[in-house]
Every structure is written in structure tokens, then in C-alpha cells.
Amino acid sequence: MNWLEFAMLHADEPRTVHVDGAEVGPCLVSNEVIFCPPDTVAVPGAPVTLPGGRAARVRNAIFMDSCGTGLPEHLQLDIQRLDAGNTGQRNYCHTGRSTAWRNERNA
């Protein structure tokens, strides 16, 4: 199963976000995590515009390979929403490889 098939299976409709001004999709968007196509480019600190226009920023970008889980390769963006009630406290997933590793691999 590729990313598009997976996203369409788990989302009512395709959702796009804007990361550093570039449109990215289809994505699965939860409260503090966005699952994006594997070719997404995002760096920590990059601005994100969520569906509906809410602002956030990338806290961490992690490339996740399938590792036999049945999930397709994807990029996980841990985000911090920039709305007034956000405390910024969260435990982040560190099970994937950072995008720095992917960039070195592709160099």
C-alpha cells in the first residue's frame, strides 16, 4: 500500500497543509502530529498552516519507514500550535529517523 492509498483509507477527505509556504497533501492531521507523504520537506521551526487556517510550527520532522508494520513510508511532523492556550508541553515520538539522516542518505 502506498501513502496515497493509506491516506485515502484513513481520512474522510484529503487534507492539505502548508509547510513553509508549500502545499503538502494528502495528510492525516491530529492534534499535535501530522502524517505527510514521504517526499515532504520540513525542518524544525518551519511555519505550518493547518486546515482551517490555524497556525503552527514544526517541532520535529521524523522520516518513518514501514519496518514491517503495514504502514507506508511517511514523514511525521510533530507540531506546536501557535494559539493562545498552547503550553508547548508534549512527549514526542522518537522511533523514526530524523530528516537529517534522510538528507545525508540522499546526498
What confidence tens digit (pLDDT) does each residue in 43-55 have?
999 999 998 899 9
- CA 13 distance to own-chain centroid: 17
pLDDT in the model for residue 61: 94
Cα–Cα distance measured from residue 85 to residue 87, given in angstroms and rounded to the nearest whole number: 6
Would the pTM of this model clear 0.85, i.e. be above it? Answer: no
As a whole number, the mean pLDDT across the chain is 79
pLDDT at 94 over 50: no
Residue 69's pLDDT band (boundaries 50, 70, 90)?
A: low
- Summarize the confidence of residues 15-19 as an average pLDDT: 93
Q: Looking at per-residue confidence, does 84 or 33 come out higher?
A: 33
Cα–Cα distance measured from residue 9 to residue 41, given in angstroms and rounded to the nearest whole number: 23
Name the residue among 50, 55, 64 with its Cα closest to residue 93.
64
pLDDT at 102 over 80: no
pLDDT in the model for residue 98: 47
CB 23 within 8 A of CB 88: no
Q: What is the dihedral of CA 71, 28, 96, 66, to 10 degrees?
A: 10
pLDDT in the model for residue 6: 87
